[in-house]
Structure 1
Amino acid sequence: MRLTKNPLLLAALVLAVLAAAAALWSGTSWYAAAQDSDADFARSRDDAVSAARQGVQNLNTLDYRKIDEGLANWEESATGALLEQLKGGRDAFKKSVGEAKTVTTAKVFSAALTELNEREGKANVMVAVRITVTPAEGKPQAKQSRMLGELTRTPDGWKLSALAQAPVGNTGSPAGN
């Protein structure tokens, strides 16, 4: 039987060839994407930003009624010198917050990496956050803040290794000088 005499057989053969070509292209594209170092870099960047957002929120949230839980969240979000600083001041801070009976909450508005060194497992981040402090008596007070942080990749993921307020105001020289 000749293909030209049976149009259904010819159509089936053409469809089979097209399906094989599509499967080959799809498999090759998937393999290339899986091996792409840019994808790994983007994944690492996204993981670091996510950890920074959560870490800054954790380190700026504390309820005196759940102080041990809050301080445990702080320590879970930190590593290195920052973690040691948190552990070293834990008792004094616990006493201070317990006496003041404050509830502090944070909401992160945005976060961006300013530097990522994938090879060394280090990153720098800037985070915009609103921190609301509710005293035992009185109205909640909210302030917006920019924070600069350093992240270090650990076996448990990215964690904050330093955190500080970003400088505010004119830090450069005046225009025209």
Structure 2
Amino acid sequence: MTGPAAALRESAWTTRWIRPAGYVLTAAATAFLCLSLWSLIQSGRGADHDLAAARDEVSRTAVRDLTLLNSVDPKVAELDLAHWLDVATGPFHDALKRDMPAARARFGKQKAASHGRVTALAVTSLDRSAGEATVIASVRVRTDPSGEAAEGTEQRKRYEVGMRRVGGVWKVGSLKPLSPGGSRP
């Protein structure tokens, strides 16, 4: 059969089978896309996400606290020392508190401000249930020029920092200097 009758029969077959099949395939593809998007959204809400969020919180806190602990402005040294105590906990806090009179005397003689900046940091261990973390960090401490000095000075320091969660806030529990090779001096 050729001609108009065959074209009409082919057109009826196309309308009856091909179009509905296209609709079914489009609906299946849409459903697959929706399920894929839902799965992608849910994948960011598991235990790995919670661990990453805790690690990020420890990192942010350690950067802020190390910057603070390596900075002092003699004009507001008393305030800086108070902030040091605010970010410390445990034996480290006690040691800072014991050293306050000597620190006040040291900073009273200091003429130039020093500014710490964390240049690298890594969380090496994290125990969320115990509220403990260990961080290693590299800090650059720049001292402003003072008096006749045309240029300031710069020091590089490395630390192993023990972080502890106290009342939902991470604080510095220990601060150990590291030698350039990575071991403790």
TM-score bracket for the superposition, by shorter chain length: 0.7 to 0.9
Q: Which residue among 15, 20, 41 is the counterpart of 2:51?
A: 41
Report the count of equivalent residues. Answer: 169
Partner residue, 1:97: 107
1:100 and 1:136 in contact (8 A); partners too:
no
Structure 2 vs 1, CA of residues 168 and 26 (structure 1 numbering), >3 Å: closer, same or farther? closer
Q: Which residue among 32, 46, 54 is the counterpart of 1:21?
A: 32
Q: State the AA in 2 paired with 1:49.
A: S
Partner residue, 1:142: 154
Q: State the AA in 2 paired with 1:100.
A: Q
Identity %: 24
More displaced 10-residue stretch of structure 1: 23-32 or 58-67: 23-32
Q: Which residue among 65, 70, 91 is the counterpart of 1:55?
A: 65
Q: State the AA in 2 paired with 1:59.
A: L
The CA distance in 1 between the partners of 2:89 and 2:63, in whole Å, is 15
**Per the alignment, in what secondary structure is the counterpart of residue 62 of structure 1?**
coil
The CA distance in 2 between the partners of 1:102 and 1:88, in whole Å, is 24
Q: Bigger radius of gyration, 1 or 2?
A: 2
Partner residue, 1:109: 119
Q: Which residue among 165, 172, 177 is the counterpart of 2:177?
A: 165
Shift of residue 163, structure 1, vs aligned partner: 0.7
The CA distance in 1 between the partners of 2:87 and 2:20, in whole Å, is 64
Compute the TM-score of the two structures, normalised by the length of structure 1: 0.77
Shift of residue 81, structure 1, vs aligned partner: 1.8
**Per the alignment, in what secondary structure is the counterpart of residue 102 of structure 1?**
coil
Partner residue, 1:174: none
Structure 1 gap segments, 5+ residues each: 172-177
Shift of residue 109, structure 1, vs aligned partner: 1.0
Shift of residue 3, structure 1, vs aligned partner: 9.2
The CA distance in 2 between the partners of 1:51 and 1:79, in whole Å, is 13
Shift of residue 12, structure 1, vs aligned partner: 5.3
Partner residue, 1:175: none
Compute the TM-score of the two structures, normalised by the length of structure 2: 0.74
Q: State the AA in 2 paired with 1:121.
A: G
